[in-house]
Amino acid sequence: MKTPGVQNYFSALQDLFRLQSAVLTDVIPHAGERGRNDEQRFREFLERILPRKFSVGTGFVICSNPEISPSSQTDIVLYDDFHNSPLHRELTAHVYPVEIVYGTVEVKGLLQKKDLAKICEDIAKIRLLGHRRWYIDYGSREATPGDPHSKVVSKNEMVTGVPPRAFVFAYECKGWRSLADLIKTLETVMATTPAHLHGMAILDKDWYVAQVAHARNGPRFVSQEGGSLLRFMNGMLHSIGSVEMRQMSIDRYHEMFRT
C-alpha cells in the first residue's frame, strides 16, 4: 500500500483551511467573530502538529524591566509550560514572561497592505522585550569559605539576548498581484522597523516568505509558491527549536526579590 506522504497530508489540510474559512465568511457575518474562529482553528492545528514541549496559547508578553511596556494582545504565543509557566492564567488570555516564549504568530483572515506596518511594529516590540532574557542554573557553593563539607545549593543567574521568533499566518490576502509585490512591500516596511519575520504563509495564494538573518544592505527574503503550509511549519519547527529554554529567573518578576 502506497503511503500518502507528508506533502499530500499538508496539501489536504490547506484545502480544509480554505473551505472552513469560506464557509465561515457566509455563516458568521461579524468580522471579529470570524477572526476569533480563524485564530482558534489555527491554534488547534498547531496543538496537533507541534511537539508537546511547545505549548500554544494567547495573551500578552512582558519582561522584567518595568520601563518597557507589555506587548499588544498576541493571537498565538508558543511557550514553555514544562520548565516554566505564565505569570497569570486568565479565562481569555495569559500573561507570558518573555523568557518562556519560543515565538508568536499573528493570524489574519484577510491580510492587506495596511496591516503590515502594525504587524511589524508588534514584532519589533516583542523583540525589544526579549532583548534581555534572564534564566537561572543551580550549582553549589561553600557556605563557609574553605570548608568543602559545607556546600549548599547556589542559584546562578544568566542572561541571553535571543528574542522570540515571529510568524504571520493568513488565510487570504488582498492588494498584491504577485509574490514579488508582497516582498517589495515587506522590504519597504522592514527597512524602517527593527523587526524580523521568521516565516509567513498565505493560503489562498499558496505563498511562503521568510526573512534572511543579518542580510546586508537592507532586509532580504526567501520565498516560494506552492506547499506554503508545509514550508511554514517546517521553518517554524527549525526556528523555535533553535531557542534554548531553561528555568526563568522568576525573582526578577517578584518585586520583593528584584536585584
DSSP three-state, residue 229: helix
> Helix, strand, coil: what percent of the chain each, to 5?
35, 30, 35
Residues 86 and 79: beta-carbon distance below 8 Å? yes
For the chain, the average pLDDT equals: 88
Identity at 120, one-letter amino acid code = C
pLDDT given at position 254: 87
DSSP 20-54: HHHHHHHH---HHHHHHHHHHHHHHHHHHHS-TTS
Identify the band that residue 30 occupies on the pLDDT scale cut at 50, 70 and 90: very low
The domain locations on the chain are 6-133+162-257
Q: In angstroms, rounded to a whole number, what is the distance separating the alpha carbons of residues 202 and 171?
A: 6
pLDDT given at position 1: 47
State mean pLDDT over 49-69. Answer: 94
Spell out the residues 6+ positions from residue 14 whose beta carbon is closer than 8 angstroms to its own: 203, 206, 228, 229
pLDDT given at position 139: 84
DSSP three-state, residue 104: strand
148-168 residue pLDDT tens: 777 888 889 999 999 999 999
Q: In angstroms, rounded to a whole number, what is the distance separating the alpha carbons of residues 226 and 233?
A: 13
DSSP three-state, residue 178: coil
Residues 170 and 201: beta-carbon distance below 8 Å? yes
**pTM > 0.95: yes or no:** no
